[in-house]
Structure 1
Amino acid sequence: MSLKVAIVIERADISLGGAERSVFELVPALSAHGLDVAILAAKGQTKAKNIHILCAETGGKRTSYFTFAEALKRHLSQYQYDIIHSVLPFDFADVYQSRGGTYAEAIFRNAVSYQNKTIEWYKRLTTLGNLRRTTLLHAERKLCTGPDGPVVAALSKYVADQLKHHYGTEPQRIAVIPNGVKTNAPIDARQADALRTKILAQLSLKEADDPVLLLFVANNFRLKGLTPLIKAMSAAAAQPAERKAYLVVAGHGKENRYRRLARKFNILDRILFLGPLRHIRNVLSIIDVAVLPTFYDPASRFILEALAAGKPVITTAFNGATDLFTHDQHGKVIDSPDNIPALARAISHFTDTDNLEKAAHAITEDNLIEQISINRVADQLTELYESIIQNKGKK
């Protein structure tokens, strides 16, 4: 008889972001292992039989932590599951796996990303006035403190370190299961070619110019490091290079603010704002390097998807995705997003065709795609679930 697993997520809507997409990619991967998987969500619209919307009648787009907790308890009193796997800090779960790392670290690094000490302290103080975030922070701290409670599945070593630093979580309660992505998503070659033609035209380039295209994808340009990236692009452009680097910026963000910054640093002609993307694999297939000099990311899907596409990457030590590739072999890891000289050197490194080809070859040769795959995540989670069931049987 297969294990029955309930995955708890606030909103069953894949369009909302990486956390929701990751859960929806994980479910079929777990099902392929013979698990019977259901999603328990507060809100969402679906006709799928394995998705249960528990707070559809409550108003608003969001549901309070306590309202969702009560709805979950009612559901769990009527339906039996072998494993409760929650991405929210509910202490009645068997596994807690925050898709955003710890709330404590996220709050701290978000404040740092403003790169202004006054604003940084203001943001930390005003966070206390955000009832929802404070509730989740307190619930997470309570859940992660002490010897007992759910297994805490960390998306990266970075997240595991956060748990120990902020909450003193005991190592035996932590299971590091690195993030993964669907690696076999199809590419529409016709759309990809049309997109490259559009990008080159808007940058006033021809294929004969042989540009190096860097791709930055985010929905929070500040937190993911677009300001230092623009400064580093300017610094790199001032150095001699085999090929010129151009930056393609995709996602929702305050474009005008960053256009002004690019103009200030005389680099606007090297940057294209593409807007939101529907199919990231298409654009990854026609660029050279993925870059995300983030102030905070527990394990960036964008960087993992780039590696899965065979593209070298540039990111920071504040990105847990660094667990899955090697610095100076498959890409570059910068110690901090505000280390502009190091970021500029990383950009310049990949304006050399040999360096690009060596990194891309290493990604393929070292079979990174296997480690990045959501199937590897499903393997590790299945083992974790089985160990939890065994331990329950011993009690």
Structure 2
Amino acid sequence: MRIGLIRMKYSPYGGAEIFLERFINELKRRGHEIDVFSSDWPEAEGIRVHRIRTGGPRFLRPLIFAAGAARAVEKAQCDCVISLERTYCQDIYRAGDGCHREWLARKRAMASAPKRALISMNPLHAALLYLEARLFSSPRLKRVVANSRMVRDDIIRHYGLPKKRICVIYNGFDAPPPSTDGAGTRAGIRSRLGISEETVLLLFVGSGFERKGLIHAIRSLGLLRDKGDVRLLVIGKGATSGYSAEAKRLGVGDRVIFMGPVNGVFEYYGAADVFVLPTLYEPFSNACLEAMAAGLPVITSRANGVSEILTGAGYRASIDEAADTHGLASAIETLLDKDARAKASKAVREIASGFTIGRNVTEFLKLIEEVSTDA
């Protein structure tokens, strides 16, 4: 089968791009032909890359890309087209970035009056809302894939799509083999960071610090400053000065380590003790699933779709609100005990083992067959 995949931009650290790379590799392994429609997706063996030109002001780029993708898709004649972008030329839309209308509603609810005005005047939001509305009303669209029930329900609430047209397929991840490089082991990484084995190391992974709730992770660390040697390692792209200042104000400036984006992040899961992601809105965090696969207990917010698979973890794995720093600190405190962490580690690893790339691709291929039959 010839399958087309649409993604505007490539980032080696982006969750959607990481998912798509894994998805493509599994499709290729199963013998399918792959076309990728993108402005900058890297060339790779066994993939036809169709370059879609974008340019101009930032708010116009999604509109220009959507129009260019529609023209390129029409020429390519794929058997099925899956888009990870707000475009209107696909058979299946994977809503991996969530529902933009819902994200804006949450963002406005937390913002001051001046910030709410700026949000309303931002032309990028207007462009994305236009594209989102257009894609959900597109006559070509046959199915929507949400990577959590939360996102499915957001789309139904805001756009009125029938529930039967939305399929929930959770993300998948296959854990790599343990590192044989001494520098990449738990002891090697902690030694390089100056972290003793007695320290409880919290890990935060993700770019887009505001949406992913880094400020709440830092404030919860402040509440734990008298609970022993607890530190926070932050991996991801973003400005750190404001967060460093807040950590210093709370008396934990020397307990927060900013690494920036890194390659080989999986090794850091093994070096940490607890993964924290008090996100404001996250359709389904790949980083959380990766941490679970590494046996790292995860604490996140209910605004993260991954919380749906953590309900049977046996410990407090989610908080109701991202800004509930006391709740987050309390949940972390229960895992300061080594035995409690070991029990939680076993539970999350077992949960993650059921969510593989193979399972994800199999569910997608079943959906493609359904779409083809309906046609």
Same fold, TM-score > 0.5, yes or no: yes
CA contact (8 A) 2:96 2:147 kept: yes
* In 1, Cα distance between equivalents of 2:136 and 2:68: 23
Structure 2 residue matching 1:223: 3-state secondary structure: helix
Shift of 1:371: 2.5
Unmatched segments (≥5 aa) in structure 2: none
2:130 to 138, 145, 151: 138
Determine the structure 2 residue equivalent to 1:307.
292
Taking the aligned partners of 2:119 and 2:347, their CA distance within structure 1 comes to 41
Could you report, residue by residue, the CA deviation over 1:365-384 in whole angstroms, capped at 9, with x for unpaired residues?
xx323333222110110110
CA 1:77 to 1:165, structure 2 compared with 1: closer, same or farther past 3 Å? closer
Q: Deviations over 1:265-300 (max 9, x none)?
A: 112232222222111111111111111011111111
Matched, 1:212 2:200: yes
Indicate conservation of the 8 Å contact 2:88/2:138, yes or no. Answer: no
What secondary structure sits across from 1:237 in the alignment? coil
Alignment of 1:94-173 (within 5 A): 94-112=91-109, 115-127=110-122, 129-130=123-124, 133-145=125-137, 149-173=141-165
Alignment of structure 1 residues 300-339 onto 2, 5 Å: 300-326=285-311, 329=314, 332-339=317-324
2:83 equivalent in structure 1: 86
CA drift of 1:326 comes to 2.3
Residue 330 and residue 66 in structure 1: after superposition, are their counterparts in 2 closer, same or farther (change >3 A)?
same
Q: 1:217 to 1:18 in 2, by over 3 A?
A: same
Structure 1 pair 109/186, CA: closer, same or farther in 2 (3 Å)?
A: farther
Letter of the structure 1 residue corresponding to residue 5 of structure 2: I
Letter of the structure 2 residue corresponding to residue 388 of structure 1: V
Contact 1:89–1:139 (CA under 8 A) maintained in structure 2: yes
- SS of 2:7's equivalent in the other structure is strand
The one-letter code of the counterpart of 1:206 is S
Q: CA deviation at 1:66?
A: 4.5
CA distance in 2, matches of 1:264, 1:138: 42
2:279 is aligned with what amino acid?
T
TM-score normalised over the length of structure 1: 0.86
Shift of residue 224 of structure 1?
Answer: 1.1
2: CA distance between counterparts of 1:324 and 1:5? Answer: 29
Match of 2:215 in 1: 227
- Distance (whole Å) between structure 2 residues aligned to residue 329 and residue 147 of structure 1: 45
**Shift, 1:308, TM fit:** 0.9
Q: CA RMSD in A?
A: 2.5
Q: 1:66 to 1:233 in 2, by over 3 A?
A: closer
SS at match of 1:222: helix
Query: In the superposition, relative to structure 1, how do residues 388 and 290 fare at CA in structure 2: closer, same or farther (>3 Å)?
Result: same
Shift of 1:320: 0.8
Write the distance in 1 (CA, Å) between the matches of 2:146 and 2:61: 24
Residues 7 and 84, structure 2, Cα contact 8 Å, conserved in 1: yes
Aligned match of 1:381: 364
Once the two structures are overlaid, the 10-residue window that deviates more, 345-354 or 98-107, is 98-107
The Cα shift of 1:198 comes to 1.8
CA spacing shift, 1:91–1:74, aligned 2, 3 Å: closer
8 Å Cα contact 2:190/2:196 also seen in 1: no
- Percent identity (aligned): 27
Q: What amino acid is aligned across from residue 15 of structure 1 in structure 2? A: P
Contact 1:330–1:363 (8 Å) recurs in 2: no
Distance 1:50 1:69, change over 3 A: same
Taking a change above 3 Å as real, the CA distance of residues 262 and 325 of structure 1, as seen in their structure-2 partners, is same
Letter in 1 for 2:189: L
Aligned to 1:372: 355
Q: Which residue of 1 is the match for residue 373 of structure 2?
A: 390
CA contact (8 A) 1:92 1:150 kept: no
What do the CA deviations read for 1:134-175 (whole angstroms, capped 9, x no partner)?
223112123325998331110111110110121122101111
**How far off is 1:188 after superposition?**
5.1
Tell me the CA shift for residue 214 of structure 1. Answer: 0.7
Task: Give ranges in structure 1 of 5+ residues lacking alignment.
Answer: none
* Structure 2 counterpart of 1:227, one-letter code: I
How many Å separate the matches in 2 of 1:310 and 1:61?
43
8 Å CA contact 1:217–1:302 kept in 2: the answer is yes
1:266 is matched with 251
| Alpha-carbon distance in 1 for matches of 2:55, 2:119 | 29
User: How much does 1:222 deviate?
Assistant: 1.7
SS across alignment from 2:318 = strand
Contact preservation (8 Å) 2:5, 2:36: yes
Query: Does structure 1 conserve the Cα–Cα contact (< 8 Å) formed by 2:34 and 2:46?
Result: no
Determine which of 330, 341, 349 is the counterpart of 1:356.
Answer: 341
Deviations 1:333-354 (A, max 9, x none): 0000111211110110110112
Opposite residue 8 of structure 1, the aligned amino acid is I
